[in-house]
Amino acid sequence: MHIQRQRLLDRFLQYTRIGTTADPNTQDYPSSRGQWLLGEILTKQLKEMGILDAEQDHYGLVWGTIPATVDGPAPTILFNAHLDTSPEAPGDHCKPQVIEHYEGGDIPLLSGDFIRISESPELEQLIGKTLVTTDGKTLLGADDKAGVAAIMELANVLMEHPHLPHGPIRILFTCDEEIGRGTRHFNLAKAGAIAGYTLDGGASGTIDVETFSADLATITFHGINTHPSVGKGKMVNALRAACRFVANLPLDHLAPESTSQREGFLHPYVLHSSVSEASVQILLRDFETEKLDEYARYLKNLAQDAMRDEPRLRIDVQIEEQYRNLGDKLRDFPLAADLAEQAYQRLGRPCKRDAIRGGSDGSLMSHLGLPTPNLSVGQYNIHSVKEFACLDEMLAAVEHALVLTQLWSDQGRV
């Protein structure tokens, strides 16, 4: 299919070496300088391929168009990946390690740790494949530089082989997806597409057609600070109150540690505190959007109970909408997922439709008017220093995307 395996690998390794960790503690957009740098590199590479309208806009988003090669009308589709990496683990100074023809077993990392089959059973399906890890001290950044590299190879192949039939294809690389800001400056009119695809998934053959719906709860505890030597009867310790609040959240259910498949959860993940004031951020997640209101009421009731126990304590609960289930919009436009499935069938490969226990730029794009399923691109152990990627599955993602572009061009001739 004209794909250059080594070029795909070389670009992926180049991108992973650029630190693009998102920073949730700033309102700058993008939130880290590395995202600007990677975007500049991608824009230059797209122009070198002959994509004349390639640009990095003033928000740091990278846009480009692969011109149609078919005569007559054909739908425009969009491929998207994000430039940033998760702030949940170190991302700078990544040192990628390439394992050709993985032989099986635990993978030793230079840090002295291992990627163990007992923790990553997917490895058993990847024997003989080419894997990329880090030294075990940082993220690899395959989430989502595997998607970035795959889209860049797709663009390269299509620009090098104009005999391949396809309609107009828009490329978009977004920023700060990991901190919920990936589509903050997404322009639906500029995208100009009938459907989109995020390349931001795991094992081959998966079409993600649902995501969680998500809200963010910020619980602020207002205490009373005095010198501890005279604290008796006067001090109300906001830190203690916040800790008690978190300890009262369920752990045997409604928690990431004890849920799977379609079960939702409450996830406390950030605590900032002093004696006088503390704040806890809690992620509210469920596939059924209406359950988020139920979770919010539960948190507010916990806050009321805490204030009854200590009337001098004040607790504020703020709920912020983050994103909504991708499936709510895809059901209105089934063709996007149907053609992705047909592309796998044309390749003679098995596939499945799945639901992500998380979100994607596609969640927000779909609710803004661009139906956008998520596709496999070979990411594993994301948000962890034991993250790894499978080059063969990245290559398979490019192959799938090539067939998908042809299927969409056929829609214009129906």
Report the candidate in 203, 223, 196 with the shortest Cα–Cα distance to residue 339.
Answer: 196
Which residues on adjacent β-strands are paired with residue 79?
A: 171, 197
> Token pair for residue 351?
């596939």
Active site residue 84: yes
- Sequence-distant (6+) residues with CB within 8 A of 292 are 213, 214, 215, 284, 286
Question: One of 143, 144, 153, 177 is an active-site residue; which one?
Answer: 177
Q: What are the tokens at 215?
A: 């809200």
- Among the options 84, 144, 153, 387, which is catalytic? 84
Please tell me the distance from the alpha carbon of residue 156 to that of residue 148, in angstroms, as a whole number.
12
| Known active-site residue 177 | yes
Give the C-alpha separation, 405 to 169, whole Å: 8
Q: Is the dihedral of CA 76, 154, 43, 138 positive or negative?
A: positive
181 touches 82 (CB < 8 A): no
Please, are residues 30 and 84 in contact by the beta-carbon 8 Å criterion?
yes
Q: Which residues pair with 94 in a beta bridge?
A: none
Positions marked active-site: 84, 177
